[in-house]
Chains A and B, each alone.
Chain A
Amino acid sequence: MVGESQTAGQGDEAAAQHPLLRALAGRFGARVLGTHAWRGDVSAVIEAGALLEVARFLRDGGEAGFDMLLDVTAVDYLGRAPRFEVVYHLVATTSGARIRLKVPLDGAEPALPSLVSVWPGANWLERETFDMYGIRFEAHPDLRRIYLYDEFEGHPLRKDYPKQKRQPLIGPGSRAESGSTR
């Protein structure tokens, strides 16, 4: 069950003791694919379908009240199935409690629900993850590239994107406009 992650098996016993992870596992059952606690970090691996519900529960239900979404990013485990893992870091600004949510995703057409409706701060972070990994966030109000330009080909943080890859020139005088093969 926890085979989704590199840390599988390392902190399972500690995770079983953690009240928040127990509450999550109790409430969402098999949709929580695994939990672990390692080096003081608490993580829960959940299904993409349960993401919105889990997010709302963590924000409103329970005691901690995770009112801030700190970070959204992804990790590309090329060669492993499922290939991607989208990672969310949450914090409760009053108590300082933290949790990490991870959602495994298949490599073909990775998509999962957007969390902008829960934390508006997810907007840019999801755009960045889309830009860098090509992961789509459904119902995102404005899913565009954020760092790179629209004509950029590929998603640079994918492990199969070569570091030295060149991009076609854009703008006046470029191949697209003048038809040259430069």
Chain B
Amino acid sequence: MNRKVIEAGRDVLDLPSDALELKLGPSHPATHGTVRILLQLDGERIRKAEVEVGYLHRGFEKECESGQYYQVFPYTDRLNYVSPMINNVGYALACEKLFDLKTPERCQFLRVIASEASRIADHLTCLGACSLELGAFTAFLYAVEARESAWDILDAMCGARVTTNYVRIGGLSHDTDPSFPELARHKLADVARLQKDFEDLLLGNPIFRERMEGTGMLPAPELIALGVTGPVLRAAGVPYDLRRLAPYLVYDRLDFDVPVGGAGDNMDRFLVRTEEIRQSARMIEQCLARLPGGPVDIDDPLIRLPGKGKVFGRMEELIGQFKVVTEGPKPPPGEVYFAVEGGTGELGFYLVSDGTGKPVKCRARSPSFSNTQALSRMVEGSLLADVIPTFDMINMIGGECDR
């Protein structure tokens, strides 16, 4: 029994009103990703939320600076590990900007297919995990099964589902099989069918809608000032999509829509992602229909490995392979920043070269980091239960956020 209350006699209003401190995470059953949110609660209302990141920090930049340019690719897989292809492509494009290279058409189309299949997997992971954490376990299983189909497309391209390591400076690790387009179309049909079931299960559900609608909102100018990009920003009505605003690869030749929301609440973020999955599938279908023939690699033995068939029989290619492996390709001195539209927002790579085979600086501008920063502003003043859908819709990916 509280002494203060007894002393105050009948004045029951004189209750202690200190904020309750609640530590959500770093490993909490209702969140995914390793992050700690320190909450100060007044009843169920959040007075202050402080987000602590860094549990997955692995020294990405330090590791990259001590290796050669091509050795960075496996590390980029592990930034956003639910859409690794987009990281591969983003880093390769940054390197190609630094080296001033242009890859063959077929390579560019295949990179778009890889990126968009990755985006489908990324969004399905986000949406599925969100439904799981709001109590809809069945819906989660549909999303994960659909994601498995998207991963099958990546599997057919590179032989791996998650740690792809597929893209190279000036090309791809290998070309696809002739049966690939048919398989990809088949898998996309699976994704579409499962996605419809998934949406039908959730979107009519009043519990789900009530937890998503009107929660986690922040006005667009504030999101911009905080550096938020990706589906979260687009849900607030800002059509900031690098595939449209600064097209790379062959995006300027594809027909697709950039879905935007209105209110910018969690429901809008959810719906923007479901629509982006459909748009990604549309892009992949266009790429499959127009996939040109020809090589996937540039023809420069000092940058891209010439292939064993040539190396075993010819001297120049053997020298080329030896130099690429031991010294690495050498870009001119300079610095570049190149950004692609990642699953969670603008994924940029900033490279500084001094003319040797190792980068002086290899920086990943990770969208999750900036987006997670906005979480405290989104939940302050709202209810404790709103943290879960808001955190889910920010889609913080630990590997990318903590690098």
Q: Which residues of A contact B (CB under 8 A)?
A: 5-7, 10, 38-41, 43, 67-71, 73, 75, 77, 87, 89, 91, 93, 96, 98, 100, 119-121, 123-125, 128, 132, 146-148, 156-157, 161, 163
Judged by a CB distance under 8 angstroms, whether B360 is at the interface is yes
Q: Is the CB of B334 within 8 A of A39?
A: yes
CA distance A125 to B374 in the complex (A): 12
Contact B348 A6 (CB under 8 A): no
Is the Cβ of B350 less than 8 Å from the Cβ of A89? yes
Given contacts A39-B97, A87-B350, A121-B373, contact A6 B334 (CB under 8 A): yes
Chain B interface: which size bin?
Answer: 35 or more
Enumerate 7 A-B pairs (CB-CB under 8 Å) in ascending A order: A38-B336, A39-B336, A120-B222, A124-B369, A128-B369, A161-B62, A163-B62
Are B227 and A6 in contact (CB-based, < 8 A)? Answer: no
Question: For residue A67, which residues in chain B have a CB less than 8 angstroms away from its CB?
Answer: 221, 224-225
State the CA gap A97–B370 with chains docked (Å): 19
How many angstroms from the CA of A67 to the CA of B337 in the assembled complex? 18
The yes or no answer to B45 lying at the interface (CB within 8 A) is no
- B238 contact from A70, A71, A93, Cβ within 8 A: A93
Contacts of B66 in A (CB 8 A): 163
Q: Mark B321-353, 1 if CB is under 8 A from A, else 0.
A: 000000000000111110100000010101011
A135 to chain B, nearest CB (A): 14
A75 touches B226 (CB 8 A): no
Using CB atoms, name the residue of chain B closest to A59.
B225
Which chain A residue lies CB-closest to B100?
A39
User: Measured between alpha carbons, how far is A148 from B271 in the docked complex, in Å?
Assistant: 36
Complex interface: chain A residues within 8 A of B402 (CB): 147
Known contacts A89-B350, A125-B370; decide if A120 and B57 are in contact (CB<8 Å): no
Contact B245 A73 (CB under 8 A): no
CB-based contact B54/A41 at 8 Å: no
- Known contacts A93-B224, A124-B370, A41 near B337 by CB under 8 Å: yes
Enumerate the 9 nearest inter-chain pairs by beta-carbon distance, A residue then B residue, closest first: A121-B227, A147-B54, A147-B57, A96-B245, A71-B365, A121-B226, A124-B373, A7-B334, A75-B361
Residue of A nearest to B59 (CB): A156
B296 at the interface (CB under 8 A from A): no
Which of B63, B65, B348 contacts A70, CB < 8 Å?
B348
Chain B contacts with A in 60-96, Cβ cutoff 8 A: 61-63, 65-66
A73, B224: Cα distance in complex, Å: 19
Check A68/B337 contact, CB under 8 A, given A6-B360, A156-B62.
Answer: no
Distance in Å from the Cβ of B224 to the closest Cβ of chain A? Answer: 5
- Asked if B14 CB lies within 8 Å of chain A CBs, one says no
Are A39 and B53 in contact, CB atoms less than 8 angstroms apart? no
In the bound assembly, the distance between CA atoms of A38 and B352 in angstroms comes to 12
Q: Say yes or no for B354: interface residue by CB 8 A criterion.
A: yes
Q: Which residue of B334, B365, B403 is within 8 Å of A89 (Cβ)?
A: B365
Query: Which residues on the A side are within 8 Å of B222 (C-beta)?
Result: 120
Interface of B is mostly: mixed
Name B residues whose Cβ lies closer than 8 Å to a Cβ of A. Answer: 53-54, 57, 59, 61-63, 65-66, 97-98, 100, 221-222, 224-229, 233, 238, 240, 245-246, 333-337, 339, 346, 348, 350, 352-354, 360-361, 363, 365, 369-370, 373, 402-403
Given known A38-B334, A89-B350, contact A73–B54 (CB-CB < 8 A): no
Contact A146-B54, Cβ < 8 Å, known A6-B335, A39-B98, A124-B373:
yes
Known A-B contacts A6-B333, A7-B334; the reply to A119 vs B361 at CB < 8 A is no
Question: B238 touching A75 by the CB < 8 A rule?
Answer: no
Complex contact B240–A93 (CB within 8 A): yes
Contact in complex: A123, B373 (CB < 8 Å):
yes
Closest chain-A Cβ to B249's Cβ sits at a distance in Å of 16
In the complex, A12→B226 CA distance in Å?
32
**How far, in whole Å, are A68 and B240 apart by their CA atoms in the complex?**
11
Taking CB as reference atom, which chain A residue is nearest B346?
Answer: A70
Cross-chain contact of B363 among A38, A73, A121, A146 (Cβ < 8 A) = A73
Tell me which of B333, B350, B360, B403 contacts A71 (CB under 8 A). Answer: B350
Bound-state CA distance A10–B238 (Å) is 36
What residue of chain B has the Cβ atom nearest to residue A6's Cβ? B333
Residues on B with C-beta less than 8 A from A120 are 222, 225-226
Residues of A contacting B337 in the complex (Cβ-Cβ under 8 angstroms): 41, 71, 89, 98, 100
Q: How distant is the Cα of A38 from the Cα of B226 in the complex, in angstroms?
A: 28
With a CB–CB cut-off of 8 A, which chain A residues contact B63?
Answer: 163
Q: How far is the CA of A148 from the CA of B370 in the complex (A)?
A: 17
| Cα(A132)–Cα(B340), bound, Å | 25
Looking at the assembled complex, report how far the CB atom of A151 sits from the nearest CB atom of chain B, in whole angstroms.
14
**A147-B401 Cα distance, complex, nearest whole Å:** 10
Task: Across the interface, name the chain A residue whose C-beta is closest to B227.
Answer: A121
Q: A157–B62 contact, CB under 8 A? A: yes
Contact, CB under 8 Å: B225 / A6: no
List of A residues within 8 angstroms of B352 by Cβ:
6, 75
Which residues of A are found within 8 Å of B65, using beta-carbon distances?
Answer: 157
A147 touches B53 (CB 8 A): yes
